[in-house]
Chains A and B, each alone.
Chain A
Amino acid sequence: SSGNMSTTSQKHRDFVGEPMGDKAVTALSGIGETLGKKLATDGFDKAYVVLGQFLLLRKDTEMFTEWLKDTTGANSRQAVSCAQCLKEWCDAFL
């Protein structure tokens, strides 16, 4: 988590600061409108569904990053940002 401090956005801090509840998938850092739509089409319309995938991949950020890039066409920066966001959320709330 330390290496990413400089790149964490306000969106990241907002997400990892509280339970995700019913938040939309676009609340995840790295996930904008385009990627959000793509994810929703694949059934990942809520942040918690994406969390489910992250958990299926054993919270392995590398695996998750690769999955997100493969399924949504996200670039590395976006995918890493989203993985980091979920990782930190898990560290805080699981």
Chain B
Amino acid sequence: MALHEKSVEEIAELLDEYGIKHGPIVDSTRSLYEKKLERAMEDAPVKASSDKTYYREEEEEITYITYHSPVKRDGYTDALKRRGNAKVDESDESDQETESLIHVTKRTANHSPIQSKDQIRKSGGGMWLLLLLLSVLAAVGYYIYCRVTSNEENTFGIQ
């Protein structure tokens, strides 16, 4: 549909979509806004027209991931929980940690060939989260190790 056939609401929506600030779309302003829109659409032809299909593809990808990963994820999570409980049973943070680790595994497990920019950014964040988590785990482990050794020393000292 040509721009001049669109309703005022449609024109307003398109202007918003292309980030063009606008006032009322009336007889004296409409042709100017249509011109601005045409120019914006030429500059970024992909943006408006295929934007919606792009999102749909993304959604399909996400559902695909959630359908296929549970088995793998659950196993990993359980193992991690066991490990976490064995190591740090008194730590309140352990639940939170495993939860965020689930996120990480979900993200990093997604190695689909078509990765959107968004997903790349997210998995990048996931990597940082993973690194942060590993360092936290290492710190907790070291803390426990220190306590255990000092306890041993103490008991030996008393005896």
Contact = CB atoms under 8 A, between A and B. Distances in A.
A55 B26 CA distance: 13
Contact of B21 (A58, A67, A70): A58
A78 to B, nearest CB: 17
Nearest to B29: A56
Contacts of B35: 66, 70
B113 to A, nearest CB: 43
Q: Is the interface of B mostly helix, strand, loop or mixed?
A: helix
A63 interface: yes
Interface residues of A, number: 10
B32 A67 contact: yes
B31 A57 contact: no
B157 interface: no
Interface in B1-34: 21-24, 26, 28-29, 31-32
A53 B31 contact: no
Interface string A60-79: 10010011001000000000
B24 to A, nearest CB: 6
Contacts of B36: 63, 66
B29 A70 contact: no
B35 to A, nearest CB: 7
Interface of A: 53, 55-58, 60, 63, 66-67, 70
6 shortest A-B CB distances, which residue pairs? A58-B23, A67-B32, A56-B23, A56-B29, A57-B23, A53-B28
